[in-house]
């Protein structure tokens, strides 16, 4: 399996985040990739590929022009306004919001954001673009080979919508990969989100479409971020009605219960008739992860990787969450080795 990776992910490296009323060291940082790389190495997953820069049009297929302009200019505008530190929104619009973002950068930052744990640093855009290159390269590789690729992305992406950042996520790499697979000839693409947190941005992007099926297994939204998405009755709208499936599960969910939800999701993907698959691979379902409440253990990850492999589809894995524990590397490698058959 190709591992698509760039050291430039480190260009997005917020030092602090606002968490439960206090500024704390960022849960989502470059240290996560050190643990992931170590786990992949122990599993012998070392076929690393460095991507070529992709054209911005591949990203613009998913994100709006106004939002991409904001991401590219936010830091310089923040500095020009005399603000210090990272770009951290302080004002958020109550929905429905105005059709146009405010001119002032503080207002614009809030307009394009839905959670205060997501910030922009001086070099964020360059890192985000480099990671988007990885997602596009992985989709292109899978389109050409019919095989599988893993994109070692950070920050995660599945909370980012077409025109907003949220939950550490600024570009939606799973959505970029799915759209790229469509543009390269896949008639139907399925997205399977197995992160502990609902992939609200991905769902939002494809909610009214019938060519991309989205399904997510996650913590109950009444109790877990992102809170406002991920209920069972969210099934799509318009042409997309019936092409979204959510499996919210309670705190303390053990693997046998989680696995049953996965099996339902995989059946829905088979019934959809997908030509290709994108997996939003979050391993924050692990029992010791600091910001989730599921009870999966390390031996569970190869098992569910093997179940995903039974779909026998060209597959792009996109790294999402997994925080604060060294096991995220072994758990991620477990999914990939299980998918590959051992």
Q: What's the per-residue H, E or C state across 162-173?
A: CCEEECCECCCH
Kindly report the pTM of this predicted structure. Answer: 0.96
CA atoms within 13 A on the CB side of 34: 8
**Which DSSP string do the residues of 245-285 spell out, in sequence order?**
EEEEE-TT-BHHHHHHHHHHHHHHHHHHT-SEEEEEE--TT
Q: What is the pLDDT of residue 342?
A: 64
What distances in angstroms separate CA 49 from CA 36, 133, 137, 202, 236, one per listed residue? 16, 11, 9, 25, 36
End-to-end C-alpha distance for the chain, whole angstroms: 13
CB 323 within 8 A of CB 24: no
Active-site entry in 9, 27, 63, 159: 159
Q: Taking CA 164 as the corner, what is the angle to CA 158 and CA 168, rounded to the nearest 5 degrees?
A: 50
Residue 99's pLDDT is 76
Structure token pair of residue 163: 């025109």
Residue 340: in which H helix or E strand, if any?
helix 327-340
Domain range 2-53+127-340, its CATH number among 3.40.50.20, 3.40.800.20, 3.50.50.60, 3.90.870.30 = 3.40.800.20
pLDDT at 324: 84
Fill in the DSSP letter of residue 82: T
Cβ proximity of 41 and 332 under 8 Å = no
Ramachandran assignment for 66, one of left (phi > 0), alpha (psi -120 to 50 degrees), beta (any other): alpha
Question: In this structure, are residues 251 and 293 in contact, taking their beta carbons and an 8 Å threshold?
Answer: yes
Locate the domains of the chain by residue range.
2-53+127-340
Q: Is 63 designated active site?
A: no
CB 250 within 8 A of CB 220: yes
pLDDT for 220: 97
Instruction: Spell out the alpha helix ranges (H) of 84-232.
Output: 105-111, 124-145, 173-183, 200-206
Residues in the chain: 342
Tens-binned pLDDT, residue by residue, of the chain (342 aa):
999 999 999 999 998 877 778 888 888 889 999 999 999 999 999 999 999 999 999 999 999 999 999 999 999 999 999 998 899 888 787 766 677 888 999 999 999 998 888 999 999 999 999 999 999 999 999 999 999 999 999 999 999 999 999 999 999 999 999 999 999 999 999 999 999 999 999 999 999 999 999 999 999 999 999 999 999 999 999 999 999 999 999 999 999 999 999 999 999 999 999 999 999 999 999 999 998 999 999 999 999 999 999 999 999 999 999 998 999 999 999 999 999 996
d(CA 301, CA 303): 5
Per DSSP, what are the bridge partners of residue 212? Answer: 189
**SS3 of 179, please?**
helix
């Amino acid at each position: 399996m190709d591992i698509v990776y760039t050291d430039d992910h480190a260009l997005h490296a917020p030092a602090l985040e606002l968490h439960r009323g206090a500024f704390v060291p960022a849960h989502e940082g470059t240290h996560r990739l050190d643990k992931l790389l170590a786990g992949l190495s122990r599993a012998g997953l070392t076929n690393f590929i460095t991507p070529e820069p992709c054209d911005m049009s591949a990203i613009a297929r998913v994100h709006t022009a106004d939002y991409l302009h904001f991401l590219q200019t936010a830091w310089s505008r923040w500095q020009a306004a005399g603000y210090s530190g990272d770009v951290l929104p302080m004002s958020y619009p109550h929905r429905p919001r105005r059709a146009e973002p405010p001119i002032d950068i503080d207002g614009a930052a809030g307009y394009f954001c839905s959670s205060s744990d997501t910030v922009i640093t001086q070099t964020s855009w360059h890192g985000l673009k480099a990671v988007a290159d990885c997602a596009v390269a992985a989709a292109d590789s899978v389109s050409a080979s019919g095989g599988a690729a893993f994109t070692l992305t950070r920050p995660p992406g599945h909370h980012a919508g077409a025109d907003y950042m949220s939950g550490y996520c600024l570009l939606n790499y799973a959505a970029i990969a799915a759209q790229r697979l469509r543009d390269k000839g896949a008639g139907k693409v399925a997205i399977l989100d197995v992160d502990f947190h609902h992939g609200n941005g991905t769902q939002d992007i494809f909610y009214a479409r019938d060519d991309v099926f989205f399904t997510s297994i996650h913590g109950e939204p009444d109790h877990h971020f992102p809170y406002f998405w991920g209920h069972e009755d969210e099934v799509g709208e318009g042409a997309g009605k019936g092409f979204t499936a959510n499996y919210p599960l309670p705190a303390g969910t053990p693997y046998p219960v989680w696995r049953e939800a996965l099996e339902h999701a995989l059946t829905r993907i088979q019934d959809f008739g997908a030509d290709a698959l994108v997996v939003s691979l979050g391993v924050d379902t692990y029992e010791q992860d600091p910001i989730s409440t599921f009870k999966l253990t390390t031996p569970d990850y190869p098992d569910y990787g093997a179940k995903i492999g039974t779909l026998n589809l060209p597959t792009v894995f996109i790294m999402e969450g997994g925080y604060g524990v060294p096991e995220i590397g072994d758990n991620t490698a477990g999914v990939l080795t299980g998918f590959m058959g051992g």
